[in-house]
Amino acid sequence: MPIAKMRFINIIVALQQNLNTLNDMDMKIFRTTVCCILLLVAASDAFSQRVEPIAYGNMNSWVVRNIKESAIIGGKKKTIYAIGPNTTINSNTPYKNMGGSPWGTSNVMAKVMGIVKTNNSVFRDIHPGHGHCAKMTTHIETCKALGIINIKVLAAGSIYLGDMKEPITGTKDGPKNVNWGIRFNKRPKALRYDYKIAAPGTKYRIKETGFSSKTTVPGQDYCITVLYLQKRTEDKKGNITAKRVGTLVVKYGKSTNWVNGATYEILYGDIRKNPHYNAATMGLRSCDYARNSKGKSVPVRETGWADADETPTHLILQFSSSHGGAYIGTPGNTFWVDNVALVY
């Protein structure tokens, strides 16, 4: 227990022992004293916190990429955004994180059989009174080839710590091209950020892959925040395994106005007996990829839960406008995020 709180309790106990001897004036003084002590305790707790912003987490700096898609699909000029130093790139150059930015996004350039196509589901937007923010939205991405073939794909907006290897060269490359997580060896108590939600609230989601008919998926869509702390190990063959050190998952299914300074506790160790545990979103994973020491993209296979006092080697953090996997979601689901930081 913090020292300030222990002192507060001791003072209150001492005062309560003499309550019966207090007159009305003394009782007013007692109540005023209690209020003052409560304020002091609250202040001491606030000062005991240390908040460390994640680099570029204030979302005020953006790379603007102006890309020309191939003529066979219309030859449109598209503007897509990346989180990084303020600059503009006027070319179809594959993107790599710039200026030390740890953030990747679902905005990517694909080049399949020589045809250049972009996806733009993360935007630079305005957070009133706070500058810019990230806006992630779920939408239907369309593509017309030769003005005849109309392909529709559902795409969710996502930002995450890591990076994407461009260009995407096929539908199976997406997951393997994402390098999930960054090196990290601290033990934060919580994640803090500002957010706003727009959720249509339909009772089902849709799946639209572009190669088959649109289908419905049971369950309401929600925006989601995922944080995993991992202790990774790489063997001689380059395979990566990990133990889960810390876990945090937050789901949003209802529309909100801006909520500033939302703070969520990170759970450490084996959390399967925690009442908030959800195996689908918080359980051990083997679907994420990362680049090993040889530069090869390999699956990160979580093999167990670390001790609650373990120190991690990597941090995974993702904000997404939909859940349930690739090509699944509800068009219109939108997630705004700003001022991302870790609390110690």
Calculate mean pLDDT across residues 262-266: 98
Examine the pLDDT at 268 and tell me if it is beyond 50. Answer: yes
Domain 51-343 sits in CATH at 2.60.120
pLDDT per residue over 101-138, tens digit each? Answer: 999 999 999 998 889 999 999 999 999 999 999 999 99
Alpha helices, DSSP H only, in 178-267?
none
pLDDT for res 48:
72
Written as one string, the DSSP assignment of 36-98 is: HHHHHHHHHHHHH--EEEPTTTT---EEEEEEEPPGGGT--EEEEEEESSSEEE-S-PPP---
Alpha helices, DSSP H only, in 249-316?
279-282
* Residue spans per domain, the chain: 3-48, 51-343
Written as one string, the DSSP assignment of 66-82 is: EEEPPGGGT--EEEEEE
C-alpha distance from residue 52 to each of 193, 228, 320, 325 (Å)? 11, 17, 22, 31
pTM: 0.85
pLDDT cut 90: percent of the chain above it: 74
pLDDT for res 98:
98
Q: What region, left, alpha or beta, does residue 75 occupy, with left being phi > 0 and alpha being psi -120 to 50 degrees?
A: left
242 burial (CB, 10 Å; 0-12 / 13-18 / 19+) is buried
Calculate mean pLDDT across residues 224-236: 98
Examine the pLDDT at 11 and tell me if it is beyond 90. Answer: no
Q: How far apart are CA 248 and CA 266, in angstroms?
A: 5
